Amino acid sequence: MKIGESETPSLARTFSIIFDRTRWEEKALIKAAKRKRIKINLIDAKNTSFDITSEDLTEHYGEIVLQRCISYFRGLHVTAILEKKGMKVVNSFDTTSICGNKMLTSLALSKAKVPTPKTFVAFTPETALEILDEIGYPAVIKPVIGSWGRLVSPIRDRATAEAILEHRELMGNSLLQIHYIQEMVKRPPRDIRTIVVGDEITAAIYRSSPSGSWRTNVALGATTTVCPITSELEDAALKAAKAVGGGILAVDLMESPKGNVVHEINSTIEFRGAESGTGVDIASKILEYLTKISKK
């Protein structure tokens, strides 16, 4: 499907968006492309197959592809295929791989000396309990792969820890037997989401927890307000984005007593809350970034 036909040159010979669900964000990108008279191809990954032995796929997918699959593993494999066939994918395979795995993200942030919560990884319930006894309660346990705050649990005491770890073991999911444990950061009932596009923070919002909850995911009812972009916030967010390879990212931070700490980075970003909360046309910022890198 091609939209926005005009005499204005396209981003490359062909520019594509590949997705597996048409969310608010995909619709915003389509509308922005029409306003800017940019020609794009829309590709539903669920209905697409790839001849991975073909010498060239650019005829079908172009030189630049914006990968926006909700499914982490689907998006990761799509990105691998297209990159190996010589296309530029945003975000890259390396960036997508790191951001989709909380442990890999923590390792990248630590290596780049980006402030982040103290984090441990264990592979048995017994060693996980030893970690929790060492760092003390409360703490937080998260799946290494997952989104929208699912299966992220506060651990208030040892009895709760034992119950959660037993449930994780019995669920039969090998990923849940990787126990990713973080200290509970003393913060206000909110966090900060920054939208990083290239080397710029395009928007920043506070995400405040709904009453009776401690999680700040908009999908779980958190409310958003504008967050000022200070030099400290900008430095931390851009340094974090660079640590995972850069691109179009949502860098999430918490306000700790020692300053901002980065606790998560999302590669396939949802920006409805940030755009509606700040009034910034993030979809257009994304297309402008793609235009810029297509000229390199």
Question: Of 183, 208, 231, at which residue does a domain stop?
Answer: 183
Per the structure, the complete domain to which residue 74 belongs is given by 2-95
Q: Each residue of 3-60: pLDDT tens digit?
A: 433 333 444 445 899 999 999 999 999 999 999 988 889 999 999 998 888 777 777 7
CB-based contact 275:203 (threshold 8 Å): yes
The position carrying tokens 């909360």 is 277
Q: Is residue 26 domain-shared with residue 43, that is, in the same domain?
A: yes
Q: Is residue 231 part of a domain?
A: yes
Question: Of 135, 152, 183, at which residue does a domain stop?
Answer: 183
Q: Is residue 290 part of a domain?
A: no
Q: Each residue of 168-213: pLDDT tens digit?
A: 999 989 999 999 999 999 999 999 999 999 999 999 999 988 776 7
The pTM for the full model equals 0.91
How high does pLDDT run on average in the chain?
A: 90
Q: Is residue 110 domain-shared with residue 202, that is, in the same domain?
A: yes
Q: Each residue of 215-230: pLDDT tens digit?
A: 776 666 778 899 999 9
Question: Of 161, 183, 205, at which residue does a domain stop?
Answer: 183
Q: Is residue 294 part of a domain?
A: no
CB-based contact 143:180 (threshold 8 Å): yes
The better pLDDT of the pair 260, 62 is held by: 260
Q: Is residue 108 domain-shared with residue 229, that is, in the same domain?
A: yes
Q: Is residue 126 domain-shared with residue 174, that is, in the same domain?
A: yes
Q: Which two tokens stand for residue 287?
A: 């297309």
Q: Is residue 16 domain-shared with residue 27, that is, in the same domain?
A: yes
Q: Is residue 289 part of a domain?
A: no
- The pLDDT of residue 1 is above 80: no
Q: Is residue 203 domain-shared with residue 273, that is, in the same domain?
A: yes
Q: Is residue 257 domain-shared with residue 135, that is, in the same domain?
A: no
Q: Is residue 245 part of a domain?
A: yes
Q: Is residue 84 domain-shared with residue 228, that is, in the same domain?
A: no
Q: What is the CATH number of the domain that holds 138?
A: 3.30.1490.20
Q: Is residue 43 part of a domain?
A: yes
Q: How many domains does the chain have?
A: 3
Q: Is residue 224 domain-shared with residue 110, that is, in the same domain?
A: yes
Say what the pLDDT of residue 15 is.
84
Q: Is residue 91 domain-shared with residue 136, that is, in the same domain?
A: no
Q: Is residue 199 domain-shared with residue 152, that is, in the same domain?
A: no
**Residue 158: how many CB atoms within 10 A of its CB?**
12
Backbone angles phi, psi at 107, to 5 degrees: -65, -45
Q: What is the CATH number of the domain that holds 232?
A: 3.30.470.20
Spatial CA neighbour of 275 closest among 100, 24, 35:
24
CA distance 4 to 294: 18
% of the chain exceeding 90 in pLDDT: 76
